[in-house]
Amino acid sequence: MKNLFILACWCVCLPAIAQENVSKAHAHNDYEHAKPFFEAYKLGFGSIEADVYAVKGELLVGHEIGDLKADRTLKSLYVDPIVAVLKAKKQGNFHQFLIDFKTNADSTLPLLIQALSPHKDLFVKSGLRIVISGNRPAIKDYINFPSWITFDGRSTETYPAGLGNYVVLESESMYKFGMWSGQVPMPQAMKDKLKAYVERVHGSGRKLRLWATPNTLMAYQALWDLGVDYIGTDNLSELADFLKLAAK
């Protein structure tokens, strides 16, 4: 009877653990999918990324400036859907919105604050982290921005005392640690460098995301084993399936 009880508990807990694992998934260049935000959100991704340009007082979403279209705004593709989900209390795993500034912070950040300020209390109450990446303002100026805005850190940067709450995520390129296709096991020297980096970031109290990582199962497994907090992908379903299996 005791064994049956343990088995029943395991069967109940396993799906929950699997779903929680997917919160480590990061939707890189999310806007390139057929249904921006919604595809990653419905799969249980914890982190979603959008690239933005400030164009004539509007925030437009796209990877290159030639990709921009007037109807693909940050508001329509992300802000409005996110607010709707949070108000409906259907947040799921989603807890981090990373916004990569392609235009300079002086023109882009004021527009973002203006767009998000009406919803700031909802974001704070829901625990949604807004992270600014790409063209960020000077580190010394972080303190001048609302506390519900945070900034993406880098391995080469140091942060004065008191700015810890403004930099809770650190991102770095995989290329900084070596070249790797993700089709064969990661070279040991590269693995050692990454392991030391992961430990350093965690020791500073920050979470870690790597970019330019291969979209392969072997790469997902390597990043999982190394303890990388957010595993990025362009193949949403593939990563979600992998992370669910990682719970078993």
**pLDDT (tens digit per residue) in 44-95:** 999 999 999 999 999 999 999 998 999 999 999 999 999 999 999 999 999 9
Report how far Cα 56 is from the mean position of its chain's Cα atoms: 27
In a domain, 98, yes or no: yes
Three-state secondary structure call for residue 222: helix
CA dist 115 → 58, 74, 182, 198 (Å): 10, 9, 39, 34
pTM of the model: 0.91
How many CA atoms within 13 Å lie on the side-chain side of 58? 13
Does residue 6 belong to any structural domain of this protein? Answer: no
Q: Is there a domain that residue 240 lies in? A: yes
Tokens of 128: 């949604």
Q: What is the mean pLDDT of residues 12-30?
A: 78
pLDDT digits (tens, 9 = 90+) for 155-170: 999 998 888 899 999 9
Q: What pLDDT shows up at residue 161?
A: 83
Which pLDDT score, from 0 to 100, does residue 1 have? 55
14-18, 81-85, 105-109: range with lowest mean pLDDT: 14-18
Q: Residue 18: inside a domain, yes or no? A: no
Residue 117 in any domain: the answer is: yes
d(CA 236, CA 112): 26
What's the CATH number where 100 sits? 3.20.20.190
- pLDDT recorded at residue 163: 86
| Residue 137 in domain | yes
In this structure, is residue 219 part of a structural domain?
A: yes
What total number of domains does the chain contain?
A: 1
What is the separation, in whole angstroms, between the first and last Cα of the chain? 23
The residue that leads in pLDDT, 4 or 95, is: 95
Helix runs in 88-127, H state only: 105-116, 120-126
Residue 196, judged by CB atoms within 10 A of its CB (0-12, 13-18, 19+), counts as: exposed
* Region of residue 128 (phi > 0: left; psi between -120 and 50: alpha; otherwise: beta): beta
Q: Is residue 166 part of a domain?
A: yes
pLDDT at 144: 95
Domain around 225: 23-245
Mean pLDDT for the chain? Answer: 92
The amino acid that residue 76 corresponds to is: S
